[in-house]
Chains A and B, each alone.
Chain A
Amino acid sequence: TQLLEQSPQFLSIQEGENLTVYCNSSSVFSSLQWYRQEPGEGPVLLVTVVTGGEVKKLKRLTFQFGDARKDSSLHITAAQPGDTGLYLCAGGRGNQFYFGTGTSLTVIP
């Protein structure tokens, strides 16, 4: 049973469009991380959020942690082909991290 569910599982959009990826759980986490993974490589951290309601921006990417610290969203503005990849959320609890099911994003030029 996955503690974290991501939606959508697959997303294919045109360059310049906006998109939102969701990461939901019924469990509370002390922190929530978003990673991006490219084929044949390990995940690379994009951001960590730790406070309920926290919003962080990384260029065209906006990350939000839910007020109850159970869910999170990633919004990309004006997507570019370089944004293509697998996006993973991960909830932290103590020394362990629980990963979501992943969202595979393809941005078509």
Chain B
Amino acid sequence: NAGVTQTPKFQVLKTGQSMTLQCAQDMNHNSMYWYRQDPGMGLRLIYYSASEGTTDKGEVPNGYNVSRLNKREFSLRLESAAPSQTSVYFCASRVLAGGNNEQFFGPGTRLTVL
């Protein structure tokens, strides 16, 4: 089991460029999440998908779009990148078993917008 995988690991964009961050999980989890992590801010939820075919906004959705392509894959798109979107992006999937409610995180994508 690879768990949660993310591509790319690093990316540098110029202001105004677009890109898609890919995430896939092989644990058959229903729920998937996109977070961003900035210094001193912890992780903030951008979008989530509680189940295949549904997506919902989190705390900081502006400037982003998502697609739940199938049960395994959940992508995050930046249509017109801005320097304020420089961050580390984490994808997570979630199991709800016996009240454990655990999220499994990918290794992250480090994005710099110039």
Contact = CB atoms under 8 A, between A and B. Distances in A.
Interface residues of A, number: 25
Contacts of A2: 41-42
A95 B32 CA distance: 10
Interface stretch (B62-70, B76-84, B97-105): B97-105
Given A2-B41, A99-B43, 5 more contacts: A33-B103, A41-B108, A45-B102, A95-B50, A96-B45
Interface of B: 4, 31, 33, 35, 40-45, 48, 50, 56, 58-59, 90, 92, 99-108
Contacts of B105: 42-44
B106 A42 contact: yes
B102 A48 contact: yes
Interface string A61-104: 00000000000000000000000000010101001111111100
A96 B101 contact: no
Interface in A43-60: 43-45, 48, 50
Chain B binding surface SS class: strand
B101 A48 contact: yes
Interface of A: 2, 4, 6, 9, 31, 33, 40-45, 48, 50, 88, 90, 92, 95-102
B23 to A, nearest CB: 11
A4 B15 CA distance: 32
18 contacts: A2-B41, A2-B42, A4-B42, A33-B102, A40-B108, A41-B107, A42-B90, A42-B92, A42-B106, A42-B107, A44-B105, A50-B101, A90-B103, A92-B101, A95-B31, A96-B45, A96-B48, A100-B42
